[in-house]
Chains A and B, each alone.
Chain A
Amino acid sequence: MSPDALAHATPAHATPAHATPAHATPAHATPPDRAVPGSGVPHRHVLVAVVRDRPGVLNRVASLMRARNFNIESLAVSHTDRAEMSRMTLVVHGDDVAVEQAAKQLYRLIDVLKVQDVTADPTVEHELALIKVRISERTRPEVVSIVEMYKGRVVDLAADSLIVEATGTEAEVDALVALLRGFGIKELVRTGAVVMSRGAGSIEEAVKR
């Protein structure tokens, strides 16, 4: 831009509208509000974090998510096949910017090695549920056939109850639970989602050493 152009773009009398340069909003328009990060449409995100297996690391992650006002829907933690490395799968709700911010905040923790938002990636996502269902002589065959339809297993059987083991995506487990609710669910436990990206890529191998 030449000095002349600069001069034209900056009249001496200054209301902000007149001061607007050529490539921004037209001079007659009130500028639109600046977007506030995190005010978009929230949806479900799945984050995978590889962390150092140190005392307190779960506390650090949980404390950070709480302090930064992110609600964890589910959190699954386990060892990996590498010494000193653990893996967490976090399901959180938020808009894309807010979840990106959560991931960046996780990186501030010294013990966090790698964080990936795999929401949009092709993945295998499973969780496991144990469901204790009330049965009677009459309803037992019906319950068992529903469980078989959903590729679940009956892992314990008593006179008036049975325990179903179900695996699948969150939606599949939800569907089975909804069907069994009609018979009476005495107890329910779910592990929360664990997830792995499809293909040869590996988050563990991506950790810088």
Chain B
Amino acid sequence: MATTSNQPSRGTTRTAASARPPAPAPRQRRSHLPGDGTERAAVEERARREMLQDAVRDAGRRQRGASPVDILAPHHDRGPRKRTRIGADVVCEALVRQGADVLFGYPGGVILPLYDVLADYPEIRHVLVRHEQGAAHAADGYARATGKVGVCLGTSGPGATNLVTGIGTAMLDSVPMVAITGNVAAALIGKDAFQEIDITGITLPMTKHNYLVRNADELPRVLAEAFHIARTGRPGPVHVDITKDALQQETSAPHPDEADVVAGLPGFRPNLDGHPRQLKLAAVEIARAARPVILAGHGVLVARAWDELRALAEKASIPVAHTLLGIGAFPEDHPLSLGYMGMHGWKHVNRAIQSADLLVALGMRFDDRVTGSVRTYAPYARIVHVDIDPAEIGKNVAVEVPIVGDVRRVLRGLLPLVEAVAAEARGPYLAELAAWRRESEASSWHGSGAWRDGLLSADFVIQRIGEATGHDATLVSDVGQNQMWMARYAGFRRPNSHVSSGGLGTMGFALPAAMGAALGRPDKETWAIAGDGGLQMTVQELMTLVQDRIPVKIALLDNHKLGMIRQWQELIYAGNYHSAHLQGPDWRKLAEAYGIPAFEASTPDEVDGAIAAARAVPGPALVHFMIAEEQNVFPMMPAGKGLSDLLEEWQGADE
């Protein structure tokens, strides 16, 4: 504080004056439609359009540039540089060989040798993020949307530690990722050098494998192994830490081919085909079951087994429930689709599981958010569990028929053994599930009823986004209520169209992950659906969207709350709302400051118009949905309770 000691009273007065918050402006509703209403709205609309045209022109100029070298490094020597091959070249060559066309990164001291050669590899598009966490989530979103390995890059020390949350997110959700960090020169390791941290020690328990490379000659092998490990078997993140001198050393070491890589990893031979005896047992279980349910998890998507899953469900007329990360494995408009299970799943789905006599679990891990209390979980069910990771089988629940293998190859082996059952033969069972479903969808808590008070209900917004995009867009959620609303109400039909941080539950995930998803699948519209809490965690990536012309549409579900925190405090902590209320910026001004057109909706009849306006923008756009402030996600299974103990009351209105 710039107060001198002989003027205490003046200083105090000044402090008090500056600390006083500005008087809250009356909340104004502005129209999102051009020409619809006041003169002021029209002026704003015109300004927005001009801004947008500038941005488009700017991007066009950049894309039409003479060469990538001009764009990325205008001060670089023109023409081919005469220089030898160094470790940094090996990294770029490896990325090109592995088909990594997008690299999300942030430069820093020790990683600069890599940035010095990056422009010589125009096949690689480097996206400069605003924070390394964004790079890791973007690589993650890219990997989830495409099924390919996502790559992120950071420098040593803080650059590396900022990647950690994103690496952990990928680990818990089995996402193939290679994270590359620089480290100080080998001779300085262990000396507490500037920006030195034991990053391989930090990432060790949260990666599938990690490496510290001190010698450029090792780089070809290490990078080939890293990509192989990341995508093979149960995918996961692999971290490669490279010393600065290794990046700078000359090397002529050749890149190994895939066979050499496999031979060099004797401890890594995932079992892909299920044991034939186990497949027969599974077929017998399915034939004997009267009330079977298939539980489809992320493994179905990872193994690209959606066609096989559909074939199994249709052949034996088995209804399919899905986990959070299994969304998209089975189209939700299919007659055999039951829906989303678990803590915030549909009541009819959880009822079906609790009354099932057989669960066929495919590529899922009986997470606590899926089972609730294991003791009372699916009490009548025998379990067939297919997973590629033997450690998942028997970890959380004991199973009758374990099958270790790739879901696709297991299902291909299983399908001929399964007896066909016509839907009519399961008539009473399927009719009962359908009746439960009607009851569940029609009940008063469905969507939790915020519309009754004339408020904008988040489930309605999500539903309209799903419908407006033809259920084909890639939707990326943040974590919390928005995540559950998206899982329940968007209506997914396409594999890999749902992206969400399930295992680690990382707030701030949506925006950067959507960035990666949009670059991975430019043929699909991409929406980031986030709450006002999560969006404020990584909001700086808005600038990345603008600078790199990434056409992500952002649906901000703003309730001025950490909504899921508030919900738990209401239902479990007797209404003690500590730190649940959260102020946000003027979102429209913020977006426009970044150069992103913003639209608003605060009543149900404004929703479609706002969505359409955002979709009409060629680049990124933000829609600010002012949703009911105290809407809960129902039903809810309180932590530690069982799937049969669901809370399902709308209690927000009188708070």
Contact = CB atoms under 8 A, between A and B. Distances in A.
Given A3-B424, A21-B291, A209-B266, A56 B394 contact: no
Contacts of B375: 33-34, 36
Interface string A56-70: 100110011001000
Interface residues of A, number: 47
B268 interface: yes
Nearest to B429: A10
Interface string A147-172: 00000000000000000000000000
A14 B289 CA distance: 16
B376 A12 contact: no
B606 interface: no
Given A19-B291, A33-B376, A100 B429 contact: no
A83 interface: no
A76 to B, nearest CB: 20
Contact of B390 (A24, A107, A109): A107
Contacts of A20: 357, 380
Contacts of A12: 428, 431-432, 435
Interface in A43-82: 51-52, 55-56, 59-60, 63-64, 67
B85 interface: no
A11 interface: yes
Nearest to B382: A24
A92 to B, nearest CB: 16
A23 interface: yes
Interface string B185-225: 00000000000000011001100110010000000000000
B389 interface: yes
Interface stretch (B65-73, B395-403, B546-554, B561-569): B395-403
Contacts of A100: 394
Contacts of B376: 33-34
Given A10-B429, A108-B389, A19 B355 contact: yes
B267 A10 contact: no
B267 A14 contact: no
A31 B355 CA distance: 11
Contact of A21 (B212, B290, B378): B290
B427 interface: yes
Contacts of B422: 3
B379 interface: yes
Nearest to B433: A14
A179 interface: no
A9 interface: yes
B229 A34 contact: no
A16 B380 contact: yes
Given A6-B429, A33-B375, A67-B205, A113 B398 contact: no
Interface of A: 1, 3, 5-7, 9-12, 14, 16, 19-21, 23-25, 31, 33-37, 51-52, 55-56, 59-60, 63-64, 67, 97, 100-101, 104-105, 107-113, 207-209
29 contacts: A3-B425, A6-B290, A6-B426, A10-B291, A12-B431, A16-B355, A19-B357, A19-B380, A20-B357, A21-B289, A21-B290, A21-B291, A31-B379, A34-B374, A34-B378, A36-B375, A37-B397, A97-B398, A101-B394, A101-B395, A104-B390, A108-B208, A108-B391, A109-B209, A109-B267, A110-B267, A110-B268, A113-B266, A207-B266
